Amino acid sequence: MPEQAPFDYAVIRIVPRVERSEFINAGVIVFSRPLKYLEARIKLDHDRLRSLDPNVDIAEVEQHLELVPKICIGSSESGPIGKLDQHERWHWLVAPKSTMLQTSEVHSGITADPERELDRLMKMLVF
């Protein structure tokens, strides 16, 4: 059996009107320093988002969301943030923000398979 290791995760939230504090979950980020794992999955429900703000620019939201997995893997498409080490990218992604794209508080667990945890969390928190 693979060795268990700690991991952290945060839910990616879309807050179309920050002043109202209403949000929908649109993805999950999982980070395990011992397993050298930092990945994100995204799934945006357009209808749910429009129920919070009928005038939201879906294309703009998707453009911002597409950057999250790129930042996780350190892609050159993610700009200077992608050049940070994995731990620094995680902290940048989960830092509190007062913008349309936010993350939940950080939660922790233990796993031997962070990919499976990411799948489980997506099913539980986003789908």
User: Concatenated DSSP letters for 34-82?
Assistant: TTTEEEEEE---HHHHHHH-TT--HHHHHHHHHHHHHHHHT-GGGGGGG
Domain with 57 in it: 5-125
**pLDDT tens series, the chain, 127 aa:** 568 999 999 999 999 999 999 999 999 999 999 999 999 999 999 999 999 999 999 999 999 999 999 999 999 999 999 999 999 999 999 999 889 999 999 999 999 999 999 999 999 999 8
Phi first, then psi: give them for residue 107, nearest 5 degrees: -115, 155
Q: pTM, whole model, 2 decimals?
A: 0.94
In the chain, the number of structural domains is 1
